[in-house]
């Protein structure tokens, strides 16, 4: 499967039950073996934390932070923390027949450049990515850079953006556990008509009870915490 490219829905792709799909489909159910998934391909909530538009696989050592926009008080992102690294997730509405990631990458490059930073386009394990370096002040007062790794997936009528921070932005070994979490994300677009690029609504989990394990090594992540109040999501 090629990440960072459009994941077609079954009607668009000429889906044939029991057939292997070009992007890594499973012969057992005709769906993709690796996500991020559309809810049509991964409908069960078992083993997931339900955050409305996103479902996050229960994973040992994973902590969730819900980020709230200061002005509207709505949840606009979820940040996943693991082993000193982070992954911020946002899901957006998208046109049925168009992709967003190519255009959004260009906008990120412009934004980073306007701050005096750099953004390099790379082919990584999750497809076409951006590695951004933005000037920042270090704890000792010296000048340095904040590094962020941007990834994106175009799905059926949705777009999912991830931003890796900490060691996962630069170190493949440190990134691997969070990349696995990213590959297991389920996006719930819903049927309501939405303008392209509108954020899909994130909510607090409906059920605080323990979730079934996805495997012997998996357990429920730490309960979601309210994150920092933010005015913009770059």
CATH number reported for the structural domain that contains residue 41 in this entry: 3.40.1000
Asked if the structure places residue 201 within a domain, the reply is no
State the pLDDT at residue 13. Answer: 32
As for how many domains the chain has, the answer is 1
**What percent of the chain stands above pLDDT 70?**
74
Domain of 76, in residue numbers: 36-193+206-230
State the pLDDT at residue 186. Answer: 98
**Any bridge partners for residue 181, and if so which?**
none
Single out the residue of 153, 148, 126 nearest to residue 54, CA to CA.
153
Q: What is the pLDDT of residues 172-192, one digit of tens each?
A: 999 999 999 999 999 999 999
Classified as helix, coil or strand, 40 is coil
Q: What is the pLDDT of residues 72-122, one digit of tens each?
A: 889 999 999 999 999 999 999 999 889 999 999 999 999 999 999 999 999
DSSP codes joined into one string, 183-213:
HT-EE---SS---TTPBPPB---S--SPPPP
Classified as helix, coil or strand, 107 is helix
Give the Cα separation of 94 and 228 in Å (integer).
27
Asked if the structure places residue 99 within a domain, the reply is yes
Asked if the structure places residue 13 within a domain, the reply is no
CB atoms within 10 A of CB 98: 12
Residue 82 contacts residue 179 (beta carbons within 8 Å):
no
Query: At 206, is the pLDDT very low, low, confident or very high (cuts 50, 70, 90)?
Result: low
Asked if the structure places residue 24 within a domain, the reply is no
What's the pTM?
A: 0.77
State the pLDDT at residue 138. Answer: 81
């Amino acid at each position: 499967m090629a990440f960072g490219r459009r994941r077609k829905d079954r009607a668009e792709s000429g889906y044939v039950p029991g057939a292997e799909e070009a992007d890594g489909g499973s012969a057992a159910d005709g769906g993709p073996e690796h996500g991020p998934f559309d809810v049509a391909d991964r409908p069960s909530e078992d083993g997931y934390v339900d955050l409305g538009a996103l479902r996050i696989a229960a994973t040992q050592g994973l902590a969730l932070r819900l980020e709230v926009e200061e002005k509207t008080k709505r949840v606009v992102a979820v940040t996943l923390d693991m082993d000193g690294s982070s992954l911020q997730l946002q899901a957006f509405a998208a046109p049925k027949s168009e992709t967003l990631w190519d255009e959004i990458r260009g906008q990120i490059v412009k934004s980073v450049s306007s701050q005096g930073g750099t953004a390099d386009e790379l082919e990584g394990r999750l497809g076409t990515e951006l590695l951004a370096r933005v000037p920042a002040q270090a704890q000792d007062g010296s000048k340095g850079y904040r590094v962020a790794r941007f990834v994106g997936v175009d799905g059926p009528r949705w777009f999912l953006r991830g931003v890796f921070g900490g060691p996962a932005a630069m170190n493949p070994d440190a990134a691997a556990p969070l990349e696995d979490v990213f590959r297991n994300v389920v996006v719930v677009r819903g049927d309501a008509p939405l303008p392209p690029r509108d954020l899909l609504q994130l909510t607090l989990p409906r059920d605080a009870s323990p979730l079934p394990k996805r495997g012997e090594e998996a357990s429920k992540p730490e309960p979601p915490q309210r994150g920092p109040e933010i005015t913009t999501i770059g």
